[in-house]
Copies of this chain bind each other. A is one copy, B any other.
Amino acid sequence: MTYTAPVSQIAHTLSRIARLDEIAATGAFPNFDADLVAPILDEANKLARDVLAPLNAIGHKTGAKLTETGVVPAPGFADAYAQFVQGGWMSLAFPEAFGGQGLPKPLALAVFEMIHGANMAFGLCPLLSFGAIEALLAHGSPELQQTYLPKLISGEWTGAMNLTEPQAGSDVGALTTKAVPNVDGSYAISGQKIFITWGDHDMTENIIQLVLARLPDAPAGSKGISLFVAPKYFVNADGSLGDRNTFKCIGLEHKMGIHASPTCVMEYTNAKGWLVGEANKGLAAMFTMMNSARLNVGLEGVAVGEAARQAGVAYANERKQGAAPGVQGFATIIHHPDVQRMLATMSANVQAARAICYACGAAADLAEHHPDEATRKSAKAREDLLTPLAKAWSTDRAIDVTNLGVQIHGGMGFMAETAAAQFYLDARITPIYEGTNGIQAMDLVGRKLSGDGGATMSAMIADVRDTARDARATNQPKFVAISDRLDTATAALESATAWMLTAMKANRETGLSGATAYLRLAGDVVGAHLLTRAALGEPAGREADRATAAAHFFADDTLPHAPGLAAAVSAGAESLRGADVLWAAD
């Protein structure tokens, strides 16, 4: 399987959308220098293209295996992980205090887009470490931080997140894993966790589990869960490793895709763990892990979509079949307008999703580091608003894009070991994990939209209006056409927003009926806005042509649906009324 990172497009999005210059101007990234970007992207591309992509097909075919001594990764993965650690890729955007490189988050997103694009099953291992690191950074005591963070940030150890139990998926408050205090201040954790990504493996000498569990006196529900850290091997005072902890992987799930990413059933039997943050405040800590993970899952959608796009382009350029307008003899299928439409749809949607994810990462950096408090606050609100879009919109598009990738391949796309098929199968998990896309939609119209009476969305819409105005001011026909489409779509988003704010106040159920359509609409408009923003003012040349073509195609193909989506948002509750006959027993 081949993958080459779209380095120039990524660099363009970093510069025009993530605005690395603005992030650098906060002064919080003294190690950052704009000249670093190109060599970092080039080196990351080498890792992705030369080390990780060649392992993707064998990983799909072979998968990870559970043996007597634990999980054994797919062939080549341990070596590749060692190279990943060696290259310092884990530490890019983490604080120097714990050995990180202190670089802006979007730069790490760019690198991890490449890693996921080359090999999503591999990329999940560091993705889970991210969650563990961010939970410890935000909530761990200085002692826990010092014990675990340096090795997690270097990548020498990996982390995993233990949330789900059979009865507690989307509703983690239903979990029953127990944590009983030991006399030494630690806790004895017992229970079973499922769907634990990279919960075990032998690629590193230690694995650090972040585990949600319930104290003996904990209140019921989500207000009674606490977060614990439990290493596979205990860490001695001198940093050396001691005895093995009493948890293990007792089963691996047999999944549709990401076969090389072990999905573990983990059994904890009086395993020793330490409380992270306050007792019964595990939910807040979990959201720290989840927010990072949600953006990163959105990024997986971008990545696997880009990989599918590349496979589609390659096949369309290679497969000869029938005649096509203007071509003598057998033509490659790329000459068919319908194939071009599929490729353009894939490209435009991947670029839009990339822009949304990178913009979300940029907002996170500004929210943390901008010197001005008001700016930090508004950036935080922007990050929070963009997170469900980054997660759900990008991964829904990943389904569409990888589906088109299969379609371009015709019968070959249905063969189990075609790259296009693997991307389709791997992508299917992304709308599910780290909060299903339905939950993202509830989060968007609930906490994120209604939480501040629509203020953050209004600010977003004002930005879209600015973009439409700037596009019109160019007087260039393509940009004027985009501006027309944006105006209509933005009006639809505004009216849907007003409806949603009222509905969520009047009757939450009514609002929630339109949540998924609202998320789609918001993602379409924000995606079009960012694509247009990336194209505007770009000096003539390849990058300008590509950015303009993507913005124009997306505006023509996607934005005309905005009024229809707005109608579906507000009609949702009414058309569901009486619809229960549709799922009643016959």
Chain A residues with a Cβ under 8 A of chain B = 4, 6-9, 164, 167, 169-171, 173-174, 194-195, 253-257, 313, 316, 320-323, 325, 330, 334, 336-344, 347-348, 399, 403, 406-407, 410-411, 413-417, 421, 424-425, 428-429, 431-433, 436-438, 441-442, 508-509, 512-513, 515-516, 542, 545-546, 548-550, 552-553, 555-557, 560-565, 567-568, 571-576, 578-583, 586
Contact = CB atoms under 8 A, between A and B. Distances in A.
A578 B549 CA distance: 7
Contacts of A336: 438, 512
Given A167-B320, A560-B567, A567-B560, A255 B575 contact: no
Instruction: Please state the number of chain copies in the assembly.
Output: 2
A416 B255 contact: yes
B337 A509 contact: yes
A442 B581 contact: no
A441 to B, nearest CB: 7
A545 B581 contact: yes
B415 A433 contact: no
Nearest to A6: B586
Contacts of A542: 581
B572 A337 contact: yes
15 contacts: A6-B586, A170-B322, A174-B330, A194-B411, A256-B415, A256-B416, A337-B515, A341-B516, A344-B583, A347-B579, A407-B431, A414-B428, A548-B578, A549-B582, A553-B575
Contact of A399 (B403, B560, B573): B403
B575 A556 contact: yes
A256 B414 contact: yes
A406 B437 CA distance: 12
Contacts of A552: 575, 578-579
Contact of A564 (B338, B348, B432, B561): B561
B567 A564 contact: no
A586 B441 contact: no
A330 B257 CA distance: 31
Given A438-B407, A560-B563, A576 B341 contact: yes
A408 to B, nearest CB: 9
B583 A343 contact: yes
B579 A340 contact: yes
Contacts of A557: 568, 571-572, 575
Nearest to A544: B581
Nearest to A253: B415
A2 to B, nearest CB: 13
A515 B567 contact: no
Given A169-B321, A171-B323, A414-B429, 10 more contacts: A9-B586, A170-B321, A254-B415, A254-B416, A257-B414, A413-B432, A414-B432, A556-B574, A557-B575, A560-B571
Q: Which of A415, A542, A550 has the most CB of B within 10 A?
A: A415
Q: Which of A338, A343, A561, A582 has the most CB of B within 10 A?
A: A582
Contacts of A438: 336, 338-339, 342, 407
B553 A576 contact: yes
Nearest to A442: B338
A546 to B, nearest CB: 5
Contacts of A413: 432
A568 B560 contact: yes
A552 B577 CA distance: 10
Given A173-B322, A549-B578, A583 B347 contact: yes
Contact of A579 (B417, B429, B508, B553): B553
Nearest to A340: B576
Contact of A586 (B8, B174, B257, B578): B8
A515 to B, nearest CB: 6
A340 B552 CA distance: 35
A515 B322 contact: no
A425 to B, nearest CB: 7
Given A338-B512, A432-B411, A545-B578, A316 B556 contact: no
A558 B334 CA distance: 31
B341 A572 contact: yes
Q: Which of A337, A429, A545, A552 has the most CB of B within 10 A?
A: A337
